[in-house]
Amino acid sequence: QVRLVESGGGLVQAGGSLRLSCAASGSIASISIMGWYRQAPGKQRELVAAIIRGVGTNYADSVKGRFTISRDNAKNTVYLQMNSLKPDDTAVYYCNARSMYDYWGQGTQVTVSS
């Protein structure tokens, strides 16, 4: 079992920055991929960025060059640094951990005003 707790969402103006955090606890060693997804109203949940153990990182085309995913193994925490935010980035952002199962955080709202 893995528990994920997200923080760091909020309201920001276009062009601004936010950093999301996802603290993981439980069966951490079993996790092979940690990532961030987002879901805007009326849209499907989509992958934003992921860290794949032993491989590297992966980003959605829409956030490349603006968002950076990183991991602090000592704190069992994954971060999503979001720069140059746009109104289209407005969504609920979810942390995901994948082992044999998919685990999800509760979600954190990010709102970017124009």
Estimate to the nearest angstrom the gap between the alpha carbon of 20 and the chain centroid: 7
Q: What pLDDT is recorded for position 77?
A: 95
The DSSP secondary structure of 13-74, one letter per residue, reads ETT--EEEEEEEEESGGG--EEEEEEE-TTS--EEEEEEETTTEEEE-GGGTTTEEEEEETT
Q: What CA–CA distance (Å, rounded) separates 21 from 79? A: 5
Estimate to the nearest angstrom the gap between the alpha carbon of 76 and the chain centroid: 14
For residue 45, what are the contacts with CB-CB under 8 A and spacing of at least 6? 37, 38, 39, 94
4-54 pLDDT, tens per residue?
A: 999 999 999 999 999 999 999 998 888 999 999 999 999 999 999 999 998
Share of the chain above pLDDT 70, in %: 100
69 touches 79 (CB < 8 A): yes
Q: What CA–CA distance (Å, rounded) separates 114 from 15? A: 9
Q: What pLDDT is recorded for position 29?
A: 87
Mean pLDDT (whole number) for 86-99 = 97
